[in-house]
Structure 1
Amino acid sequence: MTVHILKPGMMSSLQDRGRYGHQHLGVSPSGAMDERAHRLAHLLAGNSAAQDLASLEITLQGPSLRFDEPALFVLTGADMNATLDDQAVAVLRPTLARAGQTLNLQAAKPNHGARTYLSIYGGFQVESLLGSQSTHMRVGLGGFEGRALKKGDQIQLAQPLPDDETALNRLQAELDELRIYMPAALALAPRERVRVILDQADLFTDESLALFQSQSYRISPASERMGYRLEGQPLQRKTPKELLSAPTCFGTIQVPNDGQPIVLMADRQTTGGYPRIGQLASVDLAQIAQRLPGQNLGFEVITLEQAHALATRQEQAFTRLNDSLESLRKACAQCMDRA
């Protein structure tokens, strides 16, 4: 009833949508960097939208793992040339692994993203802390022992499929007939300029506001799950006055004294005192999460109303996808009933 980690990859950790409601206590939400890809993997693995189970977030270089029991899994996000016992595994497609099979992921294909998400039907058997299974590696909280996976780890499956050939063959037949219609709003079409709502724009000079919207930034090598540092022509404030610390969000864009913006990511600090030039639209968070250091990034200013409309369209698309996968959930439940 376990998954054995034969090779951990560069950095693989369990992440769900995060632990919210505790920032006032200094607890960062953490969670998946590309929540869109995580949610896709969760639904396509036959899990209910009502329950958020952790997926395995895999960064840049994939792991190798062996299934002790049958499992239904899905890969989303970056394409890492995955194979199951040397047979190619498609992304965005439920795949049935039999007991003893090995899943191998290689390096992410160039220009195909930075992070892959592996979700399993029924999820992994890990404790939920403060309402989340996410790993916050900086403080050793949650997930699998509060850390990234390493060679030799064994992770329990919460609901392993029955090791029954008849039941598994029936499930495979259902998977072969499954047609998945992916709403366009859930695709990650690369954008040269990600959309942002201005925040404390009055603190910056008119020239800097224009520069913020026109230049192309380079993502610094000093970028990680806490924040992405950007390199470009420095932005200037009107006056260097001190500011009170304020709560931060995923996608908050701070500008420290050197004038180089920092986009706060999943493991961000809970408050910050640097000026906030903008807030990334939630639909474009995945755009940054799937970019690599050295790549370029620009910003396009939109209104709050436009950002709300984009987020509503994405949520409606997730609802349509969830509804269309009812037959997959039924097939998985019937397989479990035959155990």
Structure 2
Amino acid sequence: MIEILSTTALATVQDVGRFGSLGYGVGTSGAMDHLALALGNLLLGNPEDAAALEIPMFAFEVRFTQDCAFAVTGAACEATLDGQPLPPYWVAQAREGQVLSLGYPTSGSRAYLCLAGGVDVPSVLGSRSTQLRGEFGGLHGRALQQGDRIAALRPGVSTLPTDFGVVSPSQALPLQRDGLPAMRVLPAAEYDCFLEDSRAAFWAGEWKVTTQSNRYGYRLEGAPILPKAPMEIRSHGIVPGVIQVPHGGQPIIQMRDAQPSGGYPKFGTVIEADLWRLGQAPIGSKVRFIECSYAEAIAALEDNQCYLAEVSRLVDLHGLASR
């Protein structure tokens, strides 16, 4: 079990997401950086769908109230255990009374604290993810607060290897344009309804992640994306990654807490394989977009799976070497 000693805002319990309920108006939620969550679970030998703490603001500090193995993944946030530095993407064994501190990130924007066995909170509609708007899931349907106590499903001294790490996704799967983080995008239903110059500017320009960005959506700032003619569209189903363009021409990218429907025209969709990259883009930073095909989007997913498979192999090898 851990006790939250200090937190800023919006740290929540998240897992892979809540699926099968979009038809009832319930969004997916889940980790903004699903690769970081997957890696933390791999390092600890957890189930793929185990929940963890998603930490988007810093500093963050917890005390272990009993022995427990843990992993810190995601943003490089200068983690320390009782003052001793921990590298990024690292699994360690904590002892009762030890304090884990996460400082301001030097890269990325969200860290994940994964506990052995996963975070022990009730499952709601098949997921432990927090849905802040609906106030359900996670810990009492809300962000974590100082004094909260959260249990691990497999506490104690780990019988699995600890004190090792793996290469981060940003190193293993780099993708940049002109020195900026980049995400691949599939053109969407209304793409051809926008001016050719606007379409070209979207791919060629830099886009700033504004302060109006959160788990529901990222509002971007750049050259306006303008339609050939005014468009009025009935509300329709949307999913995380969809890029919608309101009347002002500044796009909004739906993120993990996105509502299941919306009526703005759809310019494109950030592919599933790259949503984690956007989830790690800090507020105020700039990003670029790369047009891709459906086949390239599928290949990118396969690249992610190959990376996770290689990490799993290395974790198994480390286990064999430590016996």
Q: TM-score, normalised by structure 1?
A: 0.87
Pair 1:96–1:106, CA change in 2 (3 A): same
* RMSD over equivalenced CA pairs, Å: 2.3
Report the CA distance between 1:58 and its aligned residue. Answer: 0.6
Partner of 2:111: 116
2:76 counterpart letter in structure 1: D
Partner of 2:260: 270
Contact 1:16 1:55 in 2 (8 A): yes
Can you give the 5+ residue segments of structure 1 that lack an aligned partner in the other structure? 163-167, 335-339
Correspondence for 1:53 among 50, 65, 73: 50
Partner of 1:77: 74
Contact 1:185 1:317 in 2 (8 A): no
Correspondence for 2:162 among 153, 158, 175: 175
Contact 1:10 1:62 in 2 (8 A): no
Distance across 2 between alignment mates of 1:18 and 1:184:
20
Asked if 1:229 is matched to 2:219, the reply is yes
Q: TM-score, normalised by structure 2?
A: 0.91
Report the CA distance between 1:331 and its aligned residue. Answer: 10
1:151 counterpart letter in structure 2: Q
Deviations 1:100-158 (CA, angstroms, capped at 9, x unpaired) = 1111112222xx01100111111121001111000111221100111111111111222
Pair 1:55–1:184, CA change in 2 (3 A): closer
Can you give the 5+ residue segments of structure 2 that lack an aligned partner in the other structure? none
SS at structure 2 position matched to 1:326: helix
Pair 1:188–1:153, CA change in 2 (3 A): farther
Distance across 1 between alignment mates of 2:146 and 2:302:
41
Distance across 2 between alignment mates of 1:285 and 1:329:
31
Q: Considering fraction of residues, name the structure with more strand.
A: 2
Report the CA distance between 1:181 and its aligned residue. Answer: 5.8
Partner of 2:104: 107
Rg larger for: 1
Partner of 1:165: none
Aligned residue pairs, count: 318
Pair 1:157–1:291, CA change in 2 (3 A): same
Asked if 1:320 is matched to 2:319, the reply is no
Contact 1:218 1:232 in 2 (8 A): yes
Distance across 1 between alignment mates of 2:127 and 2:216:
18
Partner of 2:61: 64
Report the CA distance between 1:190 and its aligned residue. Answer: 5.4
Report the CA distance between 1:283 and its aligned residue. Answer: 2.1
Distance across 2 between alignment mates of 1:48 and 1:331:
22
Distance across 2 between alignment mates of 1:239 and 1:133:
44
SS at structure 1 position matched to 2:119: coil
Pair 1:107–1:188, CA change in 2 (3 A): farther
2:162 counterpart letter in structure 1: L
Contact 1:186 1:314 in 2 (8 A): no
Correspondence for 1:208 among 185, 198, 205: 198
Report the CA distance between 1:175 and its aligned residue. Answer: 3.3
Asked if 1:98 is matched to 2:63, the reply is no
2:54 counterpart letter in structure 1: E
Contact 2:9 2:143 in 1 (8 A): no
Partner of 1:89: 86
Distance across 2 between alignment mates of 1:213 and 1:229:
17
Query: What are the residue-to-residue correspondences of 1:90-169 with 2, within 5 Å?
Result: 90-109=87-106, 112-162=107-157
Distance across 1 between alignment mates of 2:319 and 2:135:
34
Distance across 1 between alignment mates of 2:170 and 2:79:
25
2:130 counterpart letter in structure 1: T
Distance across 1 between alignment mates of 2:119 and 2:318:
19
Report the CA distance between 1:189 and its aligned residue. Answer: 2.9
Report the CA distance between 1:296 and its aligned residue. Answer: 1.2
Asked if 1:309 is matched to 2:299, the reply is yes
Distance across 1 between alignment mates of 2:240 and 2:321:
36
SS at structure 2 position matched to 1:141: coil
